[in-house]
Amino acid sequence: MALRDLYLFLLVCLLAGSLTVAGSVLGHAMGQTGLFVGAVIGGFAGVGLAVLLATRIGFLPPANLPSALIGGCAGFIVAAIIAVNSLWTPIIPLASIALTGVGALLGKAIGQRRAARGK
């Protein structure tokens, strides 16, 4: 794994996790449903922002942006399902956000593989 992949992983996890928390805090004003909706919207926004920022910084080739975005969002969906089903402990929801970064890396790898086959 290249150093850029590590940076991409950390950036996606950090921004998705931070915006998930921010979204849930803002959504909490509208009740329990608002808390969950805000968290999901914040998480997806975090993945999108992280992938876009990673492309601008140079951690992610522009051709792999769509696949990394899809992979990161898929990872976030899995992380959200795990987090919602294990709210009694703070460790599992925090650790599950790593699935978002893993999803972005898998998406990037799939995008690179498809680009290599197309050449």
Question: Domain range for residue 68?
Answer: 3-114
Quote the number of domains for the chain: 1
What's the pLDDT score for residue 1?
63
In a domain, 119, yes or no: no
Residues 6+ apart with CB under 8 A from 29: none
Q: Is the pTM of this model over 0.75?
A: yes
How would you label 79-109 residue by residue, b for 16+ Cβ within 10 Å and e otherwise? bbeebeeeeeeeeebeebbbbbbbbbbbbbe
Residues 6+ apart with CB under 8 A from 12: 46, 47, 50, 51, 54, 72, 100, 101, 104
Calculate mean pLDDT across residues 49-59: 95
In which band, very low, low, confident or very high, does the pLDDT at 87 lie, cut at 50, 70 and 90?
Answer: confident
Q: Which has more pLDDT, 18 or 88?
A: 18
CB-based contact 82:92 (threshold 8 Å):
yes
